Each structure stands twice: as C-alpha cells, then as structure tokens.
Homo-oligomer: A and B are copies of this chain.
C-alpha cells in the first residue's frame, strides 16, 4: 500500500481484525457506503445512513444503529477530521454454507483514508472518460444497492491504467448506459436532464439522489449514441460530488453554463 495506513474500527474496536469466517468475505454478504468527512462532519450523513439502512433491508440484513456509526465517525473525526470514510456492514461470521442461520451478529467496519487532494482540485476541471468493454449483467434483486459483490466494477476498472482517464462508462448487456465505474451519470439533451434507470443493475448513489431534484432530472433508458449527442454529461458520487465530462474519445464538451450554480446548490445541502 502506497498511502498511509487507514484508520480502522471493527465493531467499534480500533485496529481490530476480521474473522476469516465472516460472510462478508465468504459471499460478499453485506453493503457499504463511502462518504466525505469535512472538518469532522460527515457530509450528507442522514442520506448515507438512510441508504445504508435501505440497502440492508434489500438483503434482509440487520443494520447497526445510527448511534453506533456516529460513535465510529466521532472516533475518526477526532483523529483525521478530513477523511474519506468507508462504512461496511456484513451479515457477520457464520458456519460454512449459504444458509443464513439464526442469531448471526452483523460485523461493522469503519475505515478512514485521507481525503484525496483536499481541498479538491478536480472540481474545477472536466473529466476524461472512456467506454468500458465489460457489460453489466441484470439482477433486479440486487440493483440499486451498494452491496459487496463488486467484481464487475473491479474487472471494468482493470481495463485501463492511463492516469489521464478519470472514469469508465458502463453499459449493460442491452447496451444501455448505466453509470461510471465509480460514479453515477446524468446527461442533458433536448433541454432535459436524464439519469439511467437502475432497476436492473447499477448503484443508486446518495449524490445522484440529491442532484435529481436540483436538475429536475428524470430516470430513463439511453444508449451510447444518446450519450455522444448530449450537450453535457455529469458524473456524481460522494467524493467528487459533481464533475462535468470534458472528453470521451474524439468528442469534447465545454464546462456546462450553469455548472457553478448547480455545484453550489448541491454542496450547500447538509
């Protein structure tokens, strides 16, 4: 690991390790969140907690309480007030086999890494993106949730190592645009903002949820041709918040006219 060792809590204990029998390892049986801690405050915390709890319900998983997470975050905040905080909850350690036995105790993992380039320099430049070869499969039962089965993202991210490329665009097996590997996506076309429907695959991020009403964006289905014909493309996640796409192959886009305004609207929320 090149960066300094992250701060780690496992079930609230500093520097604790994980059971090799944890179902998070065995099956990816859990969900996670990544969020910004700024001056000790978790940004959009209530949204993140609500999404974590919703994703747990989708997997019929017990979510640790808000208080437990807030104690973890306070511990991190006291040590590294500007951080990328990652929260993981798994179904906990269990015996071999897929069956979920009674009375498993969920595992709660909180880690914190330095906030990349804080204060963030990327927010003022556009992103250079590529189209990934990997096509996302459809699984409506898992779609939308940020669960721990992320091999599609890992394989897609392996497709490039050019540091000039900021993000890869993921299409699904029907060649519909879904998202970036790390970010959600919006396009502006014919005067309307759209973001892909995530009913069959993809992760419905907190920033996407916050930006949709600001842009009056609709969920829709669109392909690569629509993406290339868009007047503007935006990428969102909790770390970059919102970034405009400047280049995809030969196609270039200027910074959208109202970008500063919408960035301010997005970032002014608690």
Residues of A within 8 A of B (CB): 1-3, 6, 8, 10, 16-29, 32, 34, 59-60, 84, 86, 88, 90, 93-101, 109, 111, 113, 134, 136-139, 141-142, 147-158, 173, 181-182, 201
Given A19-B18, A20-B111, A96-B111, A137 contacting B134 (CB threshold 8 A): no
A3 contact set on B, CB distance < 8 A = 95
Q: Do residues A21 and B6 form an inter-chain contact, with CB atoms below 8 A?
A: yes
Q: CB < 8 Å: which of B8, B59, B60, B99 contacts A21? A: B8
What copy number does this chain have within its complex?
2
Name which of A16, A94, A138 has the most chain B CB atoms within 10 A of its CB: A138
- Complex alpha-carbon distance, A17 and B20, angstroms: 6
Given A2-B95, A20-B109, A100 contacting B27 (CB threshold 8 A): no
Given A18-B17, A27-B28, A173-B138, A98 contacting B6 (CB threshold 8 A): no
